[in-house]
């Protein structure tokens, strides 16, 4: 946000007429204000912040709420450092919060409108609300919600309506992500997303569970899929007790699932070293988490877990995978080890526990190092 000049609009010119935050008169759960309130509350909960003045919301979120939350999670995963640096530079006070919000919004949409920027607006609002609470400015939460809502209604609503509306528009394909849902998964048998979907479906099936939203996986399994399944079975067998104990201690809920996943993956690759064993462990954890979510009556989270694992592979591991022969290199690597009567794991460190300060949960520290 440095190096640019901003023309500060008044609240009236930038946002339109001021409205009060009254959810009692706003029963449209897919309306802008409800979406903003739901997202801000979700983000505060994920950051371990209690919003006592939150208006009444549905006990179970609608699909559009889940989609917006998921897109926001993915955005913050990809741009965590940039967002953190931005928020720290803002030095928010009661007097500066609104001008700073204007700066960011004007910069954000300076080059036009798209769904990614709209999701970024929600994410920024969530981060701003969190900072307000941490700085003992809870009275600003209503204002943040108002600013976002009125900005969308005045400046973005026509674009949103002409681009599919909230429900269909948010599900548009963006880069490595799925198009709409996992049922529309690109049928590239060698893509990371296809491999993740196949692995998790196989893991659920082996636990006698059905994934109703599973994409069509009717092609004969490739060597890559078979090797991943086989190593997943071995990983599960070797570390089943540790994994079961760890997952049971995670206390997974719809609100805690993604931050828990983040912390586990951070522990898995905490030293910056990547190898095939850790990548298989990532698949294994995704499978175990999916099984636990279905057991706890949250089958809708399976789609999200497939997204999270696939997005992490795409954003953080894809270059390493390419540099090491791609997924075919993965098969050759383990076949070579087996030909020399070596264990495909050959690990020095096993699964261990580590207390991670996210909603009091326990997370996995798996250090799979190959000699």
Q: Where are the domains of the chain?
A: 11-169, 182-366
pLDDT, position 226: 92
**Per-residue confidence (pLDDT) for residue 80, from 0 to 100:** 63
**Can you tell me whether residue 84 is helix, strand or coil?**
helix
- Report d(CA 250, CA 219) in Å as an integer: 35
Residue found by looking up tokens 């993915």 in the block: 74
Give the closest residue to 135 by CA, choosing from 105, 100, 102, 106. Answer: 100
d(CA 301, CA 22): 31
String of DSSP letters for 129-184: HHHHHHTT-TTHHHHHHHHHHHHIIIIIHHHHHHTTHHHHHTTS--TTS-SSSGGG
Please give the radius of gyration of the chain, using alpha carbons only, rounded to the nearest integer: 22
> Which pLDDT tens digit goes with each residue over 262-275?
888 888 888 888 88
Structure tokens at 175: 């880069």
Tokens 């009717």 -> residue? 218
- With a cut of 70, which residues of the chain have pLDDT below it? 1-28, 52-53, 56-58, 78-90, 111, 172-189, 218-219, 242-244, 246-247, 249-250, 337-371
In this chain, the answer to whether the domains covering 11-169 and 182-366 adopt an identical fold is yes
Beta carbons within 8 Å of 20's beta carbon, 6+ residues apart: none
For 81, 181, 323, 357, the CA distances from 191, given in Å and listed in that order, are 27, 16, 16, 34
SS3 (DSSP) at 234: helix
Three-state SS for 17? coil
Torsion of CA 275, 281, 286, 289, to 10 degrees: -150
Q: What is the pLDDT of residues 209-226, one digit of tens each?
A: 988 777 777 667 888 999
Q: How far apart are CA 142 and CA 144, in angstroms?
A: 6
> Residue 254 has what pLDDT?
79
* Beta-bridge partner residues of 347: 370
Contact 351, 243 (CB under 8 A): yes
Residue 62 structure tokens: 């609608």
CATH superfamily of 182-366: Blc2-like (1.10.437.10)
Written as one string, the DSSP assignment of 34-46 is HHHHHHHHHHHHH
Residue 122: predicted pLDDT: 92
User: Which CATH number is 11-169's, of 1.10.437.10, 1.10.150.20, 3.90.320.10, 1.20.120.80?
Assistant: 1.10.437.10
3-class SS at 105? helix
Residue-level pLDDT at 18 = 41
């Amino acid at each position: 946000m440095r190096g640019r000049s901003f023309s500060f609009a008044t609240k009236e010119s930038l946002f339109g007429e001021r409205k009060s935050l009254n959810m009692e008169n706003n029963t449209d759960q897919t309306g802008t204000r409800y979406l903003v309130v739901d997202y801000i509350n979700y983000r505060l909960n994920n950051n371990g912040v209690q919003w006592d003045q939150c208006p009444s919301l549905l006990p179970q979120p609608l699909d559009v709420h889940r989609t917006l939350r998921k897109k926001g999670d993915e955005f913050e995963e990809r741009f965590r450092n940039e967002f953190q640096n931005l928020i720290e530079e803002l030095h928010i006070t009661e007097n500066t919060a609104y001008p700073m919000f204007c700066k960011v919004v004007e910069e954000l949409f300076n080059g036009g409108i798209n769904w990614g920027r709209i999701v970024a607006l929600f994410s920024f609002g969530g981060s701003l609300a969190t900072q307000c609470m941490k700085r003992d400015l809870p009275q600003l939460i209503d204002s943040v919600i108002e600013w976002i809502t009125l900005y969308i209604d005045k400046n973005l609503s026509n674009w949103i309506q002409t681009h599919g509306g909230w429900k269909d528009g948010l599900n548009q394909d963006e880069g490595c992500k799925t198009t709409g849902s996992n049922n529309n998964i690109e049928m590239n048998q060698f893509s990371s997303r296809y491999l993740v979907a196949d692995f998790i479906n196989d893991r659920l099936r082996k636990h006698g569970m059905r994934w109703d939203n599973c994409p069509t996986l009717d092609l004969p399994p490739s060597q890559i899929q078979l090797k991943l399944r086989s190593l997943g079975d071995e990983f599960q067998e070797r570390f089943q007790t540790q994994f079961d104990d760890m997952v049971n201690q995670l206390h997974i809920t719809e609100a805690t699932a993604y931050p828990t996943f983040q912390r586990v993956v951070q522990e898995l690759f905490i030293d910056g070293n990547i190898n095939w064993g850790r990548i298989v462990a990532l698949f294994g954890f995704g499978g175990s988490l999916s099984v636990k979510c279905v057991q706890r009556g949250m089958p809708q989270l399976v789609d999200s877990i497939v997204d999270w694992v696939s997005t992490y592979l795409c954003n953080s591991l894809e270059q390493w995978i390419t540099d090491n022969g791609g997924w075919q290199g993965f098969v050759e690597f383990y076949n070579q080890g087996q030909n020399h009567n070596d264990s495909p794991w050959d690990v020095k460190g096993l699964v261990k526990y580590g207390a991670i300060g996210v909603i009091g949960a326990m997370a996995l520290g798996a250090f799979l190092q190959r000699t």
